[in-house]
Amino acid sequence: MTHQEKIERFAATVTAQQRETLGKAYPTIFASQPAYADASVVPGKKYTKVDVGSSGKFMIDSGGTIFGVKAYGVVHRGHVYGTLDTIDAYFWGGYSPVLLP
């Protein structure tokens, strides 16, 4: 699997888990605005950004490490959420990812 395919798989996982969480927490709002949970991939020079809705959420470096963001386009090196090879070890549907037991 190529790096780009792994990023697309990550974005699909984030979308599915965000939809599940938001659909349960806010059923009436989510029914009218389902795009709030959709993850989109934005390539960049150093990092690939994964936005959820219209907000920046994650940044991925060329090695596949997943970081949180401080501000849009600014990586937060203190918030590391594994790699593209370990995405199944986390739950991505909350405000921030949670490592599964």
Domain boundaries, the chain: 3-84
Look-up: residue for tokens 């994964």? 50
pLDDT digits (tens, 9 = 90+) for 18-29: 999 988 988 888
DSSP-based three-state secondary structure for 95: coil
Round to whole Å and give the CA distance between 95 and 55. Answer: 12
Low pLDDT (below 70) residues in the chain: none
- Output the CA angle 61-58-97, nearest 5 degrees: 120
Which residues are 68's β-sheet partners?
58, 76
pTM to 2 decimals? 0.92
